[in-house]
Structure 1
Amino acid sequence: MNKQWSPELHDFPAELLLLLDMVQSGRSSFAALNVADQSLDWQAFGSLALHHRLYPTIHAVCNAQSQQLPSNMLQWLNQKYQRNAFTMLQLSGQMQRVTQALTDRQIRALQLKGPVLAQSLYGDLSRRTSKDLDVLVPIEQADEAEQVLLSLGFVKTQEVPRTTDNWRWRYNHESYVDERTGVEIELHWRLNGDAGAEQGFEELWERRQQLEFGGTAIQMLGQEDLLIYLCVHGARHAWFRLRWLVDIDRLVQSQLDWQLLRRLTHQYKCNHIVGQAFVLTHWMLHTPISGEMAQWADAPRAQDLARRVLVFIREKVNLCPEPETQVLAKYYRSYQYALKTIGQKALFWVRKMAPDDWDMQTLPLPKMLYFMYYPLHPFLLLYRRTQRRDAVQREVEQQ
């Protein structure tokens, strides 16, 4: 490796640094690949490209440098690329079908990621992976939108707990699947679950942008709202997939209204989260920190949060829904707490004192006895904490 990477990445494996070099938007010289370097583990490289969902992004780079890559790696990349191209076309078709059905029922819908993100950021559906569609509708039309999905043949696969009255505020989506095609949809009524204040649907709709897919008008988030949403989504998941940082790298090089972004991040108290994303893209993808970006990236809290997630990227950790080990799970919970604003931390502790869905799962009671969860809550909370601590201790002893 001869590229000057950030000192923060000194312990990243060579295969991961190579992957980072290859996905830089228009700036990669492929300098990280040394043909004479026999120490590169191409199987590990392929595993990383798959884990970080970057194989379609590096496909064009690898084809251009085909003489420098093992033939079996090129063949693997071509197979993955073609399969992803088919998947994205299938998602695009379902997106048009669902959008038209919602429009017919006069339900406004914003596509959050999926094919619209691939098209708007990469200019090609096949250059980005997506496993499902994320659709945001007004909260008052969520039930009606669900009926539309059910009428199209989708089946609900994930239903949020509704035992407490504030479930629609604490959670943000439910999941559905078309069993004929396997296409999954997450129907959102909020951008983020349990995240405090965020842009309302009417505000998002006013700033939306429109793309055309096969003659169907598809609405998606405006650039600034999209940047905030992707930063919050990546931060909540500790950026364990580098694909999300590549998205940010592409997005900050587009035409952004920096004054609007400054107002929105201040209003919704997410300066530190956007700053973290800018720091990480600079460290890993050499994204230039412009004068406009510096006010977010230079903040000490943003840089601290960026350092906290490096372990999840370096160790190829899967955080869906929880880290594989109890030790990492504990560290992840600490990181999640560090992400919160002062108000969110206060609300977090208030909720610790009130019964929740976890209590009802720990000790199921008939509805007529739900009032008992109030005096029992501290004991159930202590029980769960003890169980987690014992699990961590057992894991440490086994290492």
Structure 2
Amino acid sequence: MSDATGAFGFIVAACRWPDDARRRAAIDAAAARVTDWNAVLTDAAQHRVMPLVANALRTVPAVPPVIADRCAAIARRDGMLAMAQTVELCRIGATFTERGIDWITIKGPALAMLAYGNVAAKPSHDIDLLIHPGAQADAFAAMRALGYASMDGQDRATPGSLDHVRKDSQWRDPTDKVTVELHTRLFINRAVVPTLGMESPREAVALGTGRTLPTLARPEQLVYLAVHGANTNWHRLKWIADFAALNRCSSADQRAAARARAAQLGAHHIHDSALALAATLFGDSTCPPPDVLSRQARRLAAAGLRDLTAPHRSTLREADWDRSLVVYLDKLRFMQGWAYRWEELRLMLVEASSYSPDAPWWRRWTAPIALGARFARRKLTQAVGR
């Protein structure tokens, strides 16, 4: 890995968990190689791992005080948001339960408690809830009753009519602080582990206040985290850090069950690649990858390492068509089978915003042409600029 400033190496060391002597030794060694502490600040914010980095900086005397203070301030802000999200998640969950809406939460506070034992250790952009597709109308009514407003207008469309282009609907609370995503499936591509979801085994995560959060059972959770991270080439370090942390605090039986479940779902290459990437970054032998990796697993691990060490927004589907050919090929080769690839090709030609209730009827038919023209124009502009 090329890390000229030492910033990425330090952030990786900070993301090792649990906070034991091995982590502290790795932090001390990585701190000695840092030549630009500003890069640590900016990269930690980009990878959304500031609470872990701020925790690591407490014992590093070489860090400039202004950088340590700024990191601590951002970590406090992230922690306060995480606690506010936890409160809202409990409130929404209680309302859903009262109305007979079955639900589980994914990532967020539940994962933070499982992996780190503290909801403030893992910042989240939003709250993710998974519901049955048929429960959308009731869930939308419950969100409105709680004071939430739709951010994408899906509450004005026929429930389920946009499921072929969207996997979730977005909602914002009256204070404009908390965002909620109501998912009807876990992945936008319907061919990606389609049986993983509401019908999967569950476990209850204790919050320490007498309340619990329902989420995926540990094996299914590990498989989901592996597929979720690899699906975007792990372009944020927080995802592989969460996967590794949850693996370390899982039992040997749970880790073995996760690998068996991944094989049942056709995602064993992806799960193995996540284990390999975690071992490469964190050097932890607690959850090692198989002795022999498949070609697909090696390719996925290499793609993740490539994007982590050279982060760029173009790994995101929402970042428009101005992406490299390598990213397109990565998406098409992510899973085996023509069902997945056909669905991925279809989604590449779809602009989800064209299917919003406010969009004119003709926009969805011209979206592929417009996207292609925009891509060609940008490439031509880049060529002329050179």
TM-score range, shorter chain: 0.7 to 0.9
Q: Which runs of 5+ in 2 are unaligned?
A: none
Q: For residues 156-208 of structure 1, what are the alpha-carbon distances to aligned partners after superposition, in whole Å with 9 as ceiling and x for unaligned? A: 1125697998742443111000032420000011111223142354532x333
**For the pair shown, which has the larger CA radius of gyration, 1 or 2?**
1
Q: For residues 58-101 of structure 1, what are the alpha-carbon distances to aligned partners after superposition, in whole Å with 9 as ceiling and x for unaligned? A: 222221x1423221122112211221221111111101110110
Displacement of 1:124: 1.1
- For the pair 1:185 / 2:180, whether they are aligned, the reply is yes
- For the pair 1:14 / 2:6, whether they are aligned, the reply is yes
- For the pair 1:157 / 2:151, whether they are aligned, the reply is yes
- The alignment yields a C-alpha RMSD, in angstroms, of 3.4
1:3 maps to none
Identity %: 19
Going from structure 1 to structure 2, the CA distance change for 1:67 and 1:122 (only over 3 Å counts) comes to same
Q: For residues 347-382 of structure 1, what are the alpha-carbon distances to aligned partners after superposition, in whole Å with 9 as ceiling and x for unaligned? A: 3488499x9667968xx9986x99x96xxx8xx756
1:47 maps to 42
Equivalent position amino acid for 1:210 in 2: V
**SS in structure 2 at match of 1:218:** strand
Displacement of 1:22: 2.4
1:75 maps to 69
Q: For residues 278-297 of structure 1, what are the alpha-carbon distances to aligned partners after superposition, in whole Å with 9 as ceiling and x for unaligned? A: 12111111132756x417x7
**SS in structure 2 at match of 1:262:** helix
- For the pair 1:60 / 2:55, whether they are aligned, the reply is yes
Of 203, 227, 247, the match for 1:252: 247
Going from structure 1 to structure 2, the CA distance change for 1:132 and 1:141 (only over 3 Å counts) comes to same
Equivalent position amino acid for 2:328 in 1: R
- For the pair 1:391 / 2:378, whether they are aligned, the reply is yes
Going from structure 1 to structure 2, the CA distance change for 1:284 and 1:165 (only over 3 Å counts) comes to same
1:99 maps to 93
TM-score (norm 2): 0.84
**For 1:34 and 1:184, how far apart are their aligned partners in 2?**
35
Equivalent position amino acid for 2:87 in 1: G
Displacement of 1:44: 1.0
Of 137, 144, 150, the match for 1:143: 137
Range 265-274 or range 337-346, more displaced: 337-346
**SS in structure 2 at match of 1:175:** strand
**SS in structure 2 at match of 1:339:** coil
**SS in structure 2 at match of 1:32:** helix
**SS in structure 1 at match of 2:180:** strand
**SS in structure 2 at match of 1:282:** helix
Equivalent position amino acid for 1:18 in 2: F
Of 291, 299, 302, the match for 1:304: 299
1:48·1:316 contact (CA, 8 Å) conserved in 2? Answer: no
Going from structure 1 to structure 2, the CA distance change for 1:216 and 1:81 (only over 3 Å counts) comes to same
Q: Which runs of 5+ in 1 are unaligned?
A: 1-8
Going from structure 1 to structure 2, the CA distance change for 1:199 and 1:74 (only over 3 Å counts) comes to same
TM-score (norm 1): 0.82
**For 1:305 and 1:80, how far apart are their aligned partners in 2?**
32
Of 111, 115, 138, the match for 2:105: 111
1:194 maps to 189
Going from structure 1 to structure 2, the CA distance change for 1:216 and 1:260 (only over 3 Å counts) comes to same
